[in-house]
A and B are shown apart, each in its own frame.
Chain A
Amino acid sequence: MTFAVFFVVVLGISWRLQPRPVAWKLFLLGASYVFYGWWDARFLLLLAVSQVGNTIGGYAIARAPSEHARKWAVRLGVAGNLALLGFFKYYGFFVETLVSLLRPLGLAPTPLLIEIALPVGISFFTFCAISYLVDIGRGKVRPANVLDVSLFLAFFPHLVAGPIVRASEFLPQLRRPARADSVDATRAARLIGRGLVKKVIVANVIAQVLADPVFGSPGAYGNFDILAAIYGYAIQIYADFSGYTDIAIGAALLLGIKFPDNFDRPYTAVSLQDFWRRWHMTLSRWLRDYLYIPLGGNRGGERATYRNLVLTMVLGGLWHGASWTFVVWGTYHGAGLAAERWLERRHREDRPLTASPRLAALREQLGFGPPPPAVEERADGTVILEDPPLVPERTPSPWLARLWVFHFVAIGWVFFRSETLSGALTLLGRLFTAWHGPEVTTLAVGLAIAASLAAQYVPARVGLWAEWRVSHLPPVVQAIGFALVLLACNILGPQGVAPFIYFQF
């Protein structure tokens, strides 16, 4: 409710000030500082340092006297941002690993073991800043003044948990503000309402009833609950994060700023690559453009491509948190993407996996070899061996592919959610060993999971059609409808709403 009051005040004043660009931007920047300071005022200075530093960095890159100098300026700027992120986010991880490595030698630097508080949203605004500097270096963006850069990095709807907006998407909207006579309020209301339903009802109910207890005590539940919790967490993290994104995009839209989409029904993906085009899309494209492609992308041959894929996903995993569980999660997805690419290549070259001589030999060794050739003995005593008829390769059904991708991703979430690797392995081990019926899985939660999965398959045009219909209703009716959505969230959501998962990243 506090945010609602804050937002209504900001919304009214923002549109009033919009005809005066400097005052408008200063006001939005001030509002963003209030928003951030409400979370943790200690790090406002850090945010300001990042804003000023990146403004200076942007000008330095643009005015570099030579290409060589420009490259070094970009590297310096990126390194500065990474140093900031690294210190606050990875210091503890680095020192803990160092201590555990040096401890057997009696050289453990235990005095270095101190806890560094993590500034909210640092991963997001640092990635925005890096993209800004690199894009200037690539000549895609012109450097902006300190006010525009500051607002780009700190604009409150995307400050703490994305989406990771690019300067090329954001800065032009500051130079040419949206029309005040035609705000896309219906879409904004739908996004905010949908986001609240996802977060307050779906994510919180699943978290409180199922996912938190099971992942919190991985050794205490039977495989029915564990399986339900794995499915449940897949839905919870989607509902939580995409719910936040919906609210952020909707809030920005009401303020006249358009953000890119961040989710596109990811559990309908038919391949892992497809999944990453639908899940946290702004992070995926960031990793592609600022990590995978600079690493060489697919330009260095197949092996280099696999290496780059795995490396990109490992670093993407580490971006989520300084923990080995995220490293494993990233490696798991990187290996999955590489394997998928390898299989696709073989298929393209008309060498499907089933045709692999090694696999055929292995199958034979295991007694699963191809059917023996037909033997025909002729009257003259000659023996003719006929190869078994070739079974044509069948294109897998998209539904089988979806099922496979969903389960691959859901298993990956176990590492993402678990606090420790041993906890994740315990959970996965008990999935196959702890035969037990439901203890915490209720019918309501099961239905919530099933309905949320089914909702992924509702065509986007249905929502667009609903928006179109609602947009023709008088604003007062729309306002009443929105109030009723808020009331439904209040009634159906559990008491005590947990913070958004992605705030911790």
Chain B
Amino acid sequence: MTSTRPSDRRSTRRPAPPARPPAAGARRAEPREADDVTRSDPHHGRRVRLGMPAMTAWKATLGSIVLFALLASGSLVKSARGQEEGWQRDVLLGTARGIDRVSNLLALNRPLDWANGLLDREDVEPAIEFPPVTVAPPSTPSTTLPRIVSATDPLRVGIYGDSQAKDLGRQLIQLAAGDPLMTWAEHGRVSTGLARPDYYNWPARLQELLATEDRDVIVFMTGSNDSQTLQDREGNAVAAVGTPEWEEEYRRRVAGLMDLVNNGRHRLVWVTVPLVGNSKLAPTMALINRIIRDQAATRSWVTVADAEPLLAGPNGEYVDYITPDGKAPARCRRSDHVHLTLACLDILAEHVLGAFRDAFPRADATTTTVPSASTTAPSNSEEADQPG
């Protein structure tokens, strides 16, 4: 990068003519951002910003970006991993990994690692071993009777998953607002799913959350971002979308995640993916939903909240608008034809809430149906939850 002495460089602008004196009684105007100092503020004399030759500006811009890339190489790799599949991602990821190697060699990424450590962030996703899947999963978890929820020991619900889960979580919280017998925690993360544990490893994250947050009910929703090649934690391709291997591997991941929750203390409510208005994605979404239903059918601690038929047209097809019983037609999908509008989130939230609320007897016994299945004993957790 070249550097010139200030005296060698030309000014950005020619000196402006002297400013017209202000009218009597008028306040001196504050200089506007776009003005240069000479023109707008004669009291500061000839303070003129110095410009630089275009090629010097280009080299400075390039240099600053290269330096930033070296200093933040870990974030760069993670960001490249998060890109959609394709040659652009391959190029970006290859470049980012190259920069990361150089940065490692020169220890330039240490300050960022240190800062991330202080902020409790990680650039590398944690690893996880799924519990072994039995050929025939147990039909019921072998634990205690469903506990009675009360104002002093409310039902603790956690909502986890992708952006759809975030939206659903907010609507659930809204719907149950004022119910003192429920507390909520939402840990959605946009652009995530089960396909890319190199970008966000949901099973590992869920395991952490289960350990740190004592939840009775886990509402889980992902899948919208999973119509892509399945990868492992290191970012290596495992199975291409549309192949039997993809289906097998995705089934293994769904089953693994369901079994993670099978500790006799949690009820898992898995929300299927609503139909999407994109013919390229739609077959994979349908397959994902089928896998979820199949796997849940053999696991009694899992309840499926089936968004697919709930938010479909009269013949089970994708529609932009739905007509709830006796109501006006309501727009159901946002302009991306994937995410749900508030009207449809309302309907889905009602459905999801209905999938677990009555499974837990209430101390006031007003809306209780005691099921035969069982879950957990009361907990003494005192975390600061979202009030219901």
Contacts and interface: CB of A to CB of B under 8 A. Distances in A.
Real complex partners, A and B? yes
Interface string A175-219: 000001111111110000000000000000000000011001111
A475 B49 contact: no
Which residue among B47, B111, B191 has the maximum number of chain A CB atoms within 10 Å of its CB? B47
B54 interface: yes
B69 to A, nearest CB: 7
Nearest to B80: A1
Interface in B37-64: 37, 40-41, 44, 47-64
Nearest to B76: A1
B231 interface: no
Contacts of A184: 12, 49, 51
A213 B31 contact: no
Interface in B102-117: 111-112, 115-116
B26 interface: no
A118 interface: yes
Contacts of B272: none
A15 B1 contact: no
Interface in B56-80: 56-65, 67-69, 71-72, 75-76, 79-80
Nearest to B72: A490
Interface stretch (B2-10, B149-157, B294-302): B2-10
Interface string A259-299: 01100100000000000000000000000000000000000
Nearest to B62: A8
Given A4-B65, A439-B386, A15 B58 contact: yes
B191 A479 contact: no
B190 interface: yes
Contact of B61 (A110, A220, A254): A254
B342 interface: yes
A430 B35 CA distance: 45
A463 interface: yes
A219 B112 CA distance: 40
Given A264-B33, A491-B119, A483 B65 contact: yes
Contacts of B59: 475, 479
Interface in A88-141: 92, 96, 99-100, 103, 108, 110, 113-118
A8 B173 contact: no
B254 to A, nearest CB: 24
A475 B69 CA distance: 18
Contacts of A5: 65
A491 B112 contact: yes
Contacts of A448: none
A495 interface: yes
A459 B335 contact: no
A264 to B, nearest CB: 7
A464 interface: yes
B331 interface: yes
B52 A487 contact: no
Q: Is the interface of B mostly helix, strand, loop or mixed?
A: mixed
A500 to B, nearest CB: 15
B170 interface: yes
B57 A254 contact: yes
Contacts of B290: none
A15 B76 CA distance: 28
Q: Is the interface of A mostly helix, strand, loop or mixed?
A: helix
A276 B118 CA distance: 42
B3 A490 contact: no
Contacts of B191: 496
B177 A474 contact: no
Interface in A13-69: 15, 18
B323 interface: yes
B31 A479 contact: no
A375 interface: no
Interface string A414-439: 00000110010000000000001001
A256 B12 CA distance: 12
Contacts of A4: 65
A181 B10 contact: yes
A414 to B, nearest CB: 16
A498 B277 CA distance: 23
Interface in A220-278: 220, 254, 256, 258, 260-261, 264
B49 A461 contact: no
Contacts of A260: 34
A391 interface: no
A478 interface: yes
A82 interface: no
Interface of B: 1-4, 6, 9-12, 30-37, 40-41, 44, 47-65, 67-69, 71-72, 75-76, 79-80, 83, 88, 92, 111-112, 115-116, 119, 121, 167, 170-171, 173-174, 177-178, 186, 189-191, 277, 320-321, 323, 328-329, 331, 333, 335, 337, 341-342, 386-387
22 contacts: A7-B61, A11-B57, A12-B62, A15-B55, A15-B58, A96-B329, A110-B321, A113-B321, A117-B335, A118-B335, A182-B10, A182-B53, A419-B342, A461-B44, A463-B33, A464-B33, A465-B37, A468-B49, A479-B64, A480-B67, A482-B64, A491-B112
